[in-house]
Amino acid sequence: MGKLAMLGGPRVLTVDQIPPQQVCWPVVTDAERESVLRVLDSGSFTSVAKGHGDIALLEKEWAEFVGVPYCAAVSNGTAAIELALAAAGLEPGAEVLVPALSFIASAAAPAQRRLSPVFCDIDPVSYNISHEAAAAAVTARTQAIMAVHLHGLPCDMDALRVLADRHGLLLVEDAAQAHGARYQDRNVGALGDIATFSLNASKNLPTCGEGGLITTSSEKLLQDVVLRRQFGEDLSGERTYLSSLLAGNEKLSAVQAAFTRCQLSRLPGWHAARDKNVRALLARLADLPGLQLPSCPADRTHAWHILRFRFTPAALGCPEIPAPALRLVLQRALRAEGVPLRPYQPVPLPAQPALRHQADHGSSQAARPWRREDHPVASAVTDDSLTLQRWHLNPASGPVLSRCADAFEKIWENMSTLILVARSAAGLLPSAPSAPSAPSPPTAPAPPTLPANRGWKLERGVARELA
């Protein structure tokens, strides 16, 4: 049994075992360099004229890839959601069903459009919006469902479509994390009434900066999005400077489009490589007790944008340890071995400081402050899980992921020691040398940030005594 790096033993992943070319993202090749230089030499940077330039070509290629007639390129994924909701003409104050676990933009974009995000709990395995919770949240004011394909796994779209049709709701896909994922025989982006993608450098289809894409089969929605991304002006011919509606400026630039077109040409091949690498990692971790791995139902594919790992104290034989305390100790231990796991979303969306007071938006849910019991699954998941990001996006990350699996195995071999440390961190060890503050009991609101470093120093003190 190897001594934990956290206790002064050797790290599993040493720096020389993490070559940048195997873990960096996005991967930049000569194709990207040449494409970007070609744009610079062309002198045409912002053209959105039909049929010309990298922007229009990216739109055409992405629409073909997704399998829809229309695509509009925009400045980023958040703007894409705002534009999609604006184009759909939802009434101010209308309620939009949003999963309680997502990136802030899934809720901020509707709020910015003066819509009321109404949060629905998630499924504990897929982490996507629970269609039962969504059905229960529908009111006379509900006008849209935001189907966020979180971490790259498509939502249960059949159930959401039935719900949307029953109540006449717009079905929006937030596919910022799911480029190339498939549901049954269709691509993400072709499943809702309108779909939005991010091209942020961290996403599976990245650009060298910020960008976004919108797909739809509705010509009317497409035309409205196009007007709204460019001052409400028709820019298809000679510029008239006449605006038919009040709108901002959310166009994509040609350099961004050229870069993404290179990435798109490699998306299928790199998805296949990533799928193989990730499945090999997950297969190695499958038998570790108390560890819930990301999974993918047989009727869909997973883009594996983020890998989320849940740690269950009860299954590790320590039900008395609060999940955040165990998670913190495992995070420290895994990071010490060289595996860069971290929480993704510290709290459910409705617990975000910016959203706690959304009573201002008139939502029926917000007559009182948010409570954990409102979204118990999202609360549990944000308390007991850690994520791996970016590394595994690189198609050459296989060897590094295999070392990550070694690190998980080492941690599990040393689990009894780590459980002692976690008990101490949670104040459950009577002989602990000092009294660390206990993490919040399960009914308190989740802490907005990780416990401060002070906690770690205490753990180290305990750890040294144990060693």
Ligand X SMILES: *Cc1c(COP(=O)(O)O)cnc(C)c1O
Query: Can you give the binding site for ligand X, defined by CB under 6 A?
Result: 76-78, 102-103, 105-106, 148, 174, 176-177, 198, 200, 210, 212
CB–CB of 147/192 below 8 Å? yes
Q: Which is nearer to ligand X, 111 or 336 (CB)?
A: 111
CB–CB of 215/70 below 8 Å? yes
Q: What's the closest the beta carbon of residue 347 comes to ligand X, in angstroms?
A: 16
Q: Which is nearer to ligand X, 181 or 426 (CB)?
A: 181
Q: Which is nearer to ligand X, 292 or 387 (CB)?
A: 387
Q: What's the closest the beta carbon of residue 250 comes to ligand X, in angstroms?
A: 11
Q: Which is nearer to ligand X, 102 or 414 (CB)?
A: 102
How many beta carbons lie within 10 A of that of residue 258, not counting itself?
Answer: 26
Q: What's the closest the beta carbon of residue 177 comes to ligand X, in angstroms?
A: 5
| CB-based burial label for 354 (10 Å; 0-12, 13-18, 19+) | exposed
Structure letter (DSSP) for residue 259: H
Name 342's bridge partners. Answer: 387
Q: Among all residues, whose Cβ is closest to ligand X?
A: 77
Q: What's the closest the beta carbon of residue 301 comes to ligand X, in angstroms?
A: 18
Q: Is 209 helix (H, G, I), strand (E, B) or coil?
A: coil
Kindly provide the b/e burial profile for residues 93-105, where b requires at least 16 CB atoms within 10 angstroms of the residue's own CB: ebbbbbbbbbbeb
CA 203, CA 72: separation in Å to the nearest integer? 18
Q: Which is nearer to ligand X, 252 or 341 (CB)?
A: 252
CA 444, CA 448: separation in Å to the nearest integer? 12
Q: Which is nearer to ligand X, 99 or 395 (CB)?
A: 99
Q: What's the closest the beta carbon of residue 99 comes to ligand X, in angstroms?
A: 9
Q: What's the closest the beta carbon of residue 252 comes to ligand X, in angstroms?
A: 11
Q: Which is nearer to ligand X, 5 or 170 (CB)?
A: 170
Q: What's the closest the beta carbon of residue 329 comes to ligand X, in angstroms?
A: 28
Residue with tokens 């709290």: 347
CA 287, CA 54: separation in Å to the nearest integer? 47
* Residue 83 CA: distances (Å) to CA of 126, 169, 170, 188, 235: 27, 17, 14, 18, 17
